[in-house]
């Protein structure tokens, strides 16, 4: 499979949002047409039918909108919408018996409402388990330190996943925030001053030598070294992330200014199918 499990889950949510919005408009239109369906509408309480369809339509519209905007508590609203749909279906079934002249219309409404409720309930049961869509985005400041030729793809996926649960303005990734011509030391200093957590992404080439044969981490001007040194000096929470099966560097492999890093508890970010549970563990640790 080329798509990841979380990608498939987000695609299912997008389809549910689109279906909910379409159902909402159909429900509101059907409610408006209810007066024409019912003989002696006022005497039979057609306003109850209109109100029921209107409530169901508005709930479905709000549910679809909350999914699209990744708002918190969307799933809770979804369960309320499904419950309202089942109640509306029961009402339509009773009306089909009480008002046989409009039985076909009420049965059609019943079938449509039940079909939507069944589809929505299935999606709610299979809701992506990250929990990110259920919680407000955190404003925790997160700085991501990495080497581009070592872990670019892993960091891109990490960043995309973090954006689901943390505010974009509080996620610092150098390729996003560093303007041409700026002194990278000043950029690092500003970002780390605003950050609370520093994620140090370590791949298999993190300690590899540069083209001149010397290890980049031994160069006092190395950007990654400067990032970690600054983070440690500022007392930031530093979390090493091991990707591509990399091992945690030992104290003797690090410059003296970085040896404290060797004693930080590292978390692995393994390839699928383990990437998602590893991210859940990381996010739970960050939120804690």
Which residues neighbour 140 within 8 Å (Cβ) at sequence distance 6 or greater? 166, 170, 196, 197, 286, 287
Which residues neighbour 237 within 8 Å (Cβ) at sequence distance 6 or greater? 196, 197, 198
How would you classify the pairing of strands 267-269 and 142-145?
A: unpaired
- The mean pLDDT value for 144-148 works out to 93
Nearest one of 274, 2, 11 to 123, comparing CA atoms: 11
Percentage of residues in the chain having pLDDT higher than 70: 85
pLDDT tens digit sequence for 99-143: 787 788 778 888 999 999 999 998 888 776 544 445 567 889 999
Residue whose structure tokens are 């869509």: 133
CB-based burial, 98-125: b 16+ in 10 Å, e otherwise: ebeebeebbeebbebbbebbebbbebbe
pLDDT band (50, 70, 90) for residue 230: very high
Of 21-25, 194-198, 254-258, the least confident = 21-25
Q: What is the DSSP letter of 143?
A: E
Q: What is the pLDDT of residue 4?
A: 47
> Do the beta carbons of residue 214 and residue 244 sit within 8 Å?
no
Is the pLDDT at 2 greater than 80? The verdict is no
Burial class (CB in 10 A: 0-12, 13-18, 19+), 211: exposed
CA dist 79 and 281 (Å) reads 27
CA dist 155 and 203 (Å) reads 10
Nearest one of 229, 282, 234, 285 to 260, comparing CA atoms: 229
- The mean pLDDT value for 73-86 works out to 90
pLDDT tens digit sequence for 20-71: 999 888 887 877 776 666 555 444 556 777 788 889 989 999 999 988 877 7
CA dist 203 and 154 (Å) reads 9
The pTM of this model reads 0.57
- Provide the Cα torsion 87, 89, 90, 96; round to 10°: 150
């Amino acid at each position: 499979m080329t798509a990841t499990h979380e990608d498939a889950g987000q695609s299912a949510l997008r389809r549910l949002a689109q279906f909910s919005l379409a159902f909402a408009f159909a429900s509101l239109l059907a409610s408006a047409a209810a007066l024409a369906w019912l003989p002696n509408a006022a005497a039979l309480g057609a306003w109850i039918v209109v109100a029921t369809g209107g409530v169901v339509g508005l709930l479905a519209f709000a549910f679809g909108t909350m999914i699209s905007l990744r708002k918190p508590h969307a799933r809770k609203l979804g369960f309320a919408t499904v419950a309202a749909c089942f109640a509306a279906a029961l009402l339509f079934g009773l009306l089909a018996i009480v008002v046989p002249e409009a039985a076909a219309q009420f049965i059609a409404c019943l079938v449509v409402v039940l079909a939507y409720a069944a589809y929505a309930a299935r999606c709610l049961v299979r809701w992506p388990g990250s929990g990110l869509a259920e919680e407000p985005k955190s404003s925790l400041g997160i700085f991501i330190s990495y080497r581009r030729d070592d872990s670019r793809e892993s960091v891109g996926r990490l960043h995309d996943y973090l954006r689901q649960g943390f505010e974009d303005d509080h996620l610092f990734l150098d390729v996003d925030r560093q303007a041409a011509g700026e002194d990278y030391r000043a950029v690092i200093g500003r970002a780390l001053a605003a950050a609370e957590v520093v994620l140090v992404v370590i791949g298999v080439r993190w300690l590899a030598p540069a083209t001149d044969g010397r290890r980049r981490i031994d160069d006092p001007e190395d950007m990654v070294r400067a990032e970690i040194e600054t983070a440690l000096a500022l007392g930031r929470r530093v979390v090493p992330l091991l990707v591509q099966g990399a091992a945690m560097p030992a104290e003797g492999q690090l410059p003296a200014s970085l040896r404290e890093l060797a004693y930080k508890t590292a978390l692995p970010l393994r390839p699928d199918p383990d990437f998602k549970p590893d991210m859940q563990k990381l996010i739970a640790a960050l939120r804690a």
